[in-house]
Amino acid sequence: MKSVMIIGGGITGLSAAYFLQKQADQSGVSLDIAILEQADYWGGKIRTDRVEGFVIEGGPDTFIATKPWAMELCRDLGLESRLFGTNPHQKNTYVLHQGKLKPLPDGLTMMIPTRFMPMLRTELLSWPEKLRMGMDFFIPAREDAPDESLGAFVSRRLGRAAYEKLIEPLMSGIYAGDGDQLSLKATFPILHELELQYGGLVKGALAMRKKSRPGHQNGRMAGTPSSQAGMAVPSRTDTSRSVFLTPKTGLAEIVEQLVARLNASGVDLRLKTRVTSIRKAGNGYRLELAEKKHIDADAIVLASPAFASGNLIANLDSELAGLLQETPYVTTATISLAYRQADLPRSLDGYGYVIPRREGRQALACTWTSTKFPHRAPESMALLRVFVGRAGQEEQIPSEEPELVQIARNELKLTLGITAQPVLTRTYIWERAMPQYNLGHPHRLRIIEELLSQLPGITLAGNGYGGIGIPDCIHSAETAAGQVWAYLNQQSESIA
């Protein structure tokens, strides 16, 4: 029987095993599949705590439905009826501006303004800054653009102020990145495509918005970014079903269902199993484990973060290992705090707020979880979640829980005036968690692919390559499973 080892038991590794097992079952072939996970729990960055009537997400809290792969997996797992969207009744999002919360203007499509009145009215930008945004209609497209940074691109089209006050905080919520380093082509290639196709960002976003209207022949495309981008920022004009979905008691439901299915189909699921290195052994590979044992495999899916995968293959190809190890990952933390509603000085009438880098705060965003997902806190309680840590400011993340809670409480006091003692707190530190698709990322991916083709039977999957959102990870897992399957078939044929 052929054996496949999957390294990493996050959503990528679990889905890769699921797709591979499904393929084997459909073909009536027996495969020996194992997932090796160093932690003592499944799910990696997906971490849900259900405590005292609260549903607390430590990592991601939703997935975007405009990228189909997570939705399709949930359907396959029988979870579709468990999915619900964000609260459609209180959709406000705020931006911190000079220490005060200002509403994000209506009519943003993929972060780009498409309605004039809300932009004219917004207090986030001055009149000269608004005028500068309007210049987008007249600035010619740059056809020969190299791998431009997101910051440079948006500043070129809409002006630096629009970038710093509007686009940067929205983008930060996705990548925790530095927009002046992030590659436009690797993160939001759709924006570059809009410039080329329509001659400007606003013109392009307007055209996308028109296409997204019900009845348009292309159907609903609101907020559909190119599949290569990370999570999308959908149109706020979308009033039907939310584009952000999550199972009723948290994303861990997907993990739990995957684990149950894999267990039932005989996949070997091993927690507390750290792989330390991989080397060649006969026609396949030998995986060395931390507990001084080894396992042999015909094929391997590296579903660990890119830098960890690089460490593992250092003996096989040092150049490839180096490229993977170099992929920058930012450390972030989330702090969830619960309060009695009666202790809050203002109503939490929206999904929360984002904080531009220029505001100089330690936090980068705050989600009003109990408004975004009303049933995730008991009736009389409010649940908030503060995000800390972004590219270039990671040294500001303390490693101790009380300090993290203090940062979050300071933020809530400064912005929302909350001084009460929280009734419950939970902190999650995510070391090297958010991959940064910086300038040069697309080129590096091409070299990685070329070098990987010299290691038959090894595939890479996960958030370090073509997208960081959960749907992207699932998509990469499905692709990796397909590649492994094709490789094993090819091997069997050549032996026959």
Ligand X SMILES: Cc1cc2nc3c(=O)[nH]c(=O)nc-3n(C[C@H](O)[C@H](O)[C@H](O)COP(=O)(O)OP(=O)(O)OC[C@H]3O[C@@H](n4cnc5c(N)ncnc54)[C@H](O)[C@@H]3O)c2cc1C
Residue 462 binds ligand X, judged by CB under 6 A: yes
CA distance 448 to 463: 15
Closest approach, Cβ 38 to ligand X, in A, equals 4
Residue 9 binds ligand X, judged by CB under 6 A: yes
Scanning 58-66, 73-81, 440-448, 452-460 for contacts with ligand X by CB under 6 A, the matching segment is: 58-66
Residue 11 binds ligand X, judged by CB under 6 A: yes
What are residue 108's phi and psi, to 5 degrees?
Answer: -85, 130
Q: Which helix (H) or strand (E) holds 472?
A: helix 470-495
Closest approach, Cβ 225 to ligand X, in A, equals 13
Full DSSP string of 265-288: TT-EEESS--EEEEEEETTEEEEE
- Whether the CB-CB separation of 26 and 276 falls below 8 Å is answered with no
**CB-wise, 158 or 232, nearer to ligand X?**
232
Q: Which of 473, 474, 480, 481 binds ligand X (CB under 6 A)?
A: 473
Residue 7 binds ligand X, judged by CB under 6 A: yes
**Total number of residues binding ligand X (CB under 6 A)?**
38
Q: Which helix (H) or strand (E) holds 56?
A: strand 54-57
Scanning 41-49, 259-267, 353-361, 366-374 for contacts with ligand X by CB under 6 A, the matching segment is: 41-49
Closest approach, Cβ 352 to ligand X, in A, equals 12
Residue 177 binds ligand X, judged by CB under 6 A: no
Full DSSP string of 193-240: HHHHHHSSHHHHHHHHHHHHSTT-TT---TT---TTSSS----TT--S
Scanning 106-114, 212-220, 257-265, 299-307 for contacts with ligand X by CB under 6 A, the matching segment is: 299-307
Closest approach, Cβ 8 to ligand X, in A, equals 3
Q: Which helix (H) or strand (E) holds 68?
A: helix 68-76
Q: Which of 107, 113, 247, 305 binds ligand X (CB under 6 A)?
A: 305
Structure tokens at 465: 């390559």
Nearest in space to 221 (alpha carbons), one of 203, 200, 197, 237: 237
Nearest in space to 405 (alpha carbons), one of 424, 377, 430, 382: 424
What is the C-alpha end-to-end distance of the chain, expressed in Å?
A: 14
Residue 332 binds ligand X, judged by CB under 6 A: yes
Closest approach, Cβ 406 to ligand X, in A, equals 19
Q: Which helix (H) or strand (E) holds 434?
A: strand 424-435
What are residue 285's phi and psi, to 5 degrees?
Answer: -135, 155
Scanning 141-149, 184-192, 232-240, 300-308 for contacts with ligand X by CB under 6 A, the matching segment is: 300-308
Nearest in space to 38 (alpha carbons), one of 385, 389, 291, 351: 291
Residues 431-460 that bind ligand X (CB under 6 A): 433-434
Residue 362 binds ligand X, judged by CB under 6 A: no
Q: Which of 3, 21, 48, 62 binds ligand X (CB under 6 A)?
A: 62
- Residue burial 237-257, b: 16+ Cβ < 10 Å; e: rest: bbeeebbbbbbeebbbbbbbb
Q: Which of 2, 4, 6, 44 binds ligand X (CB under 6 A)?
A: 44
Structure tokens at 260: 């149950």
**CB-wise, 8 or 223, nearer to ligand X?**
8
Residue 389 binds ligand X, judged by CB under 6 A: no
Residue 485 binds ligand X, judged by CB under 6 A: no
Q: Which of 33, 60, 267, 388 binds ligand X (CB under 6 A)?
A: 60
Q: How many residues does the chain have?
A: 496
Residue 169 binds ligand X, judged by CB under 6 A: no
Residue 105 binds ligand X, judged by CB under 6 A: no
CA distance 302 to 326: 16
Q: Which of 112, 154, 391, 468 binds ligand X (CB under 6 A)?
A: 468
Q: Which of 153, 353, 430, 437 binds ligand X (CB under 6 A)?
A: 430
Binding site for ligand X (CB under 6 A): 7-13, 36-39, 44-46, 59-63, 231, 274-275, 303-305, 308, 312, 332, 334, 430, 433-434, 462-463, 468-470, 473
